[in-house]
Every structure is written in structure tokens, then in C-alpha cells.
Amino acid sequence: MKNLVIASVFCFVGTLVVSCVPAATDGEIAQMCENLVGLRADGPLPVEKDLLARVDEDFKAREKKLVDWRAKDLKGWDVELAAKLEKAENDEEKAKLNEDYAKKKEVTSRQFDPDFQALGPAKETAIKEAKKKVVDEKAGRDEEVKKCVAEAVNEGISQQVAQCRIKADSTDAYWNQCR
């Protein structure tokens, strides 16, 4: 009988102590889960403006490469023309050379037009893909956070554990140090 009374007292005290531990709020649980999802992710959620800036830099580099390539080709014609003009004997021959090389330079310049024109649509496609990537990753992370929140609510996480998990800087700390 004495053991039964002692056991009953311990059960009552244990229940009282456990029920006195404040439960985590919904906001704390959400922060805790966002931290866990962030720790599990390959890196931070991509920022749209950063991705768009990278796309812009990439296309500026592509355009510069085309401009430089075209300038190099046109300069080649200029060098060749200069060499032939030195050998030309009269003004009529020089005028003919200038006319011929002007046509060659125009044809060479036009050869790059399709490449320049293709940059615009390609850039628009890259921008759409970057925006879609941000939206998709955010949606995936939001779904993971929802699952985590549902599990944490069912577990009845205490406020102390939630605060520890919010501050955790690794998954090991999240699971093993915050109990």
C-alpha cells in the first residue's frame, strides 16, 4: 500500500511538472521549422534580384564577346585594306579597294546580326527560368516547413526546445543538443 501511495505521488508530481513546461507558440514552431529546412537545404534560398543580376552579367559578357569578335574581324579587313592601299598605284584603284572592303566589312558585320538578335529572347528565357527557380524552391521549402510544423505540433515541443532549435546552427545541434 505504501508503494502504491508513493507511486501515485510521483505520477502526480511528474504530471504536474510536465504540464507546467510552457509549450512552444505557433510562431516559434514555424521559426524552428524554417531553421531546420534552411539547415537541410544546399544553401540559402536564392534571392531573385541576385539571380537576375547574374543573368544580366552573363548576357552583358556574351554581348561584349560578340562585339569584340566583330571588331577583331573588321580590324582584320582594315589591316588588309591598308596593306593593299600602300601598293595601289592610282586613286582609281584605291577607290575601288575602299569600295570592295567597305562591302566586305558590311557583310562581316551583318553576319553577327543573328547572334545579337538571338541574345534578347535568350535573355528573356533565362530571366523566366531564374524567376521560376526562386518560386519553385520557395514552394518546396514552404511545403517542408508545413510538414515540420505539423509534426512538431503533434510532438508538443516545449518553448525551451523551440528556442534552442531556432538558434541551432547545424542539424546535429538541432536534433542532438536541443531536447
pLDDT digits (tens, 9 = 90+) for 108-155: 999 999 999 999 999 999 999 999 998 998 999 999 999 999 998 888
| Reported confidence tier of residue 13, pLDDT bands at 50, 70, 90 | very low
pTM: 0.61
Beta bridge partners of 96: none
Rounded Cα gap, residues 139 and 46, in angstroms: 12
* Range 24-35 average pLDDT: 89
The CA distances from residue 60 to 46, 47, 56, 88, in Å, are: 21, 20, 6, 41
Residue 17: its pLDDT value, please?
45
pLDDT over 70 at 60, yes or no: yes
Rounded Cα gap, residues 37 and 40, in angstroms: 5
> Which residues contact residue 98 at a Cβ distance below 8 angstroms, ignoring those fewer than 6 apart?
81, 85
